[in-house]
Structure 1
Amino acid sequence: MERLQKVIAKSGITSRRKAEKLIVDGLVEVNGKVVTELGTKVSEQDEVKVEGVPIEKEKLLYFVLYKPRGVITTVSDEKDRKTVVDFFEDYNERLYPVGRLDYDTSGLVIMTNDGEFTNLLLHPSHQINKEYVVKIEGIPSKEKLQLFKKGIRSDGDILKAKYVKVMSTDRKKNTAIVRVVLHQGKNRQIRRMFEAIGTPVQKLKREKFGFLTLDGLTAGEHRQLTPEEVAELKKLAR
């Protein structure tokens, strides 16, 4: 069930604020009856008419995208750089990313047109694991990595990792590969954390979001989530 004004806005015919005015003005019908209450909720089965014309309800879509490096995680870019939306030009629905990955970060991004689903996944109280593989300059000590779990203060934020482990090291090149699991989603969080301990990030990739992985995808490819996966993500967030 969704609020009537939200359903009207999602159909694309007007904004939510204007939809509210249409309702108050008595220009909206639900199942043949005029509705003027803004708190009214409707389901997918209800027929909604605005000024006598049935609205077309947008089909809800859910995807996993393997975002390449050098792509912006927004719906548009003022510098005309490639965005994650550009990979979905074959769809009429207005898709957008759930959260963000940096321009220079690759990996898993969820794309959808379901605002309620997006808010559910991004709410701070719903601690969903996000797993990253990081190539860094330098080889950090165990003591420094322990700071990730305790929390690192950066620009007014306390940045924490749920899990951190060095997977491999290259003494000749003075680099390391580190696996990091976050609950938080602060701006440039992983890069800021590694910069704080003196081992700047060279490459960064998000490999998992909850139980979702990039299996079977190469950079720039996407796949649609199954109804079971969508239901499981909602369950995981709640």
Structure 2
Amino acid sequence: MEPIRLTKLLASWGIASRRAVEEWIEAGRIRLNGQVVDQQGVKADPDVDTIEVDGRRVTAPSTGRRCYLALYKPLGYVSTMSDEHGRKALPDLLPKGLPRLFPIGRLDLDSTGLLLMTDDGELANRLLHPRYKVEKGYRVEIRGTPLSADEQRRFTSGLELDDGLTAPCRLQASKQPGVYLVALREGRKRQIRRMFAVLGRDVTALHRISFGPITLGTLGPGATRLLTDAETKALRQAAGLEE
């Protein structure tokens, strides 16, 4: 087999998204034939090479149906499969007997709501890639005076953050004072909190209610459910994998 970039290979195996694999490489967590991979773009031949993540060998999964799961992440959990600081992580919430899953994107420790999990690396990569503009919806509570009409216009048009101008987004004021519905098509680190901070407001609660066509629905904190076939198809359509 022709050598394949490690990011693409591990994502196709359902180990993690390409973005996560890039972060693992930067952290020195991946070894190829016993040597730490210290740069992006390294390729491997899965028929010949030995690949390890955190000292454990990883291989292609056996053929079978992919798994797609919705999870309500409660407050105080990290959006990872393990945590070196001993904090509560996603495996504490998952039912037994599932294949090896990874989260599609993240929610902060102090954020709650919908987190999608899968072993489908290609789908995860597309859902997170800006090219496909998959929208994520949030309910946000802020401290301080309500946003003025001008501040709302600035928020939706794009705000200058330390990592560049944000893309246009949607913002809707709730009937409840200090509560807003925000819909983004990009996902920078702590983006919503930083956007409100630019306008002089602190976010006191951030709750994801949707990811593309999938909504949190009636799931309670810590609960999970498998996506239906119709939901899976809609998600794949949003990522451009099905017509």
Fold equivalence (TM over 0.5): yes
Q: Structure 2: 5+ residue runs without aligned partners?
A: 16-31, 33-42, 50-58
Distance 1:158 1:67 in 2: 29
CA contact 1:10–1:58 (8 Å) conserved in 2: no
Q: Which secondary structure state, in structure 2, belongs to the residue aligned with residue 88 of structure 1?
A: coil
The code of the aligned residue for 1:21 comes to: V
Distance 2:96 2:121 in 1: 21
1:231 matched to 2:237: no
CA-to-aligned-CA distance 1:116-168 (integer Å, 9 cap, x gap): 11112111111111111101011111111111122111112212342102113
TM-score by length of 2: 0.73
Q: Structure 1: 5+ residue runs without aligned partners?
A: 23-49, 171-175
Q: Which segments of structure 1 move beyond 4 Å, counting only runs of 4 or more? A: 3-7
Q: 1:128 aligns with which of 134, 142, 167?
A: 134
Q: Give the total of aligned pairs.
A: 199
> Alignment RMSD, CA only?
2.8
1:106 matched to 2:108: no
Q: Note the 1:1-238 alignment, pairs <5 A.
A: 6=9, 10=13, 17=44, 19-21=46-48, 56-57=62-63, 59-138=65-144, 139-170=146-177, 176-238=178-240
Offset at 1:18? Answer: 5.9
Q: Which secondary structure state, in structure 1, belongs to the residue aligned with residue 156 of structure 2?
A: helix
Offset at 1:81? Answer: 0.8
Distance 2:65 2:172 in 1: 41
Offset at 1:72? Answer: 0.5
Distance 1:58 1:80 in 2: 33
CA contact 1:76–1:83 (8 Å) conserved in 2: yes
Identity of aligned residues (%): 35
1:28 equivalent in structure 2 = none
Distance 1:71 1:65 in 2: 12
CA contact 2:79–2:89 (8 Å) conserved in 1: yes
TM-score by length of 1: 0.75
Q: 1:92 to 1:128 in 2, by over 3 A?
A: closer
Distance 1:149 1:56 in 2: 45
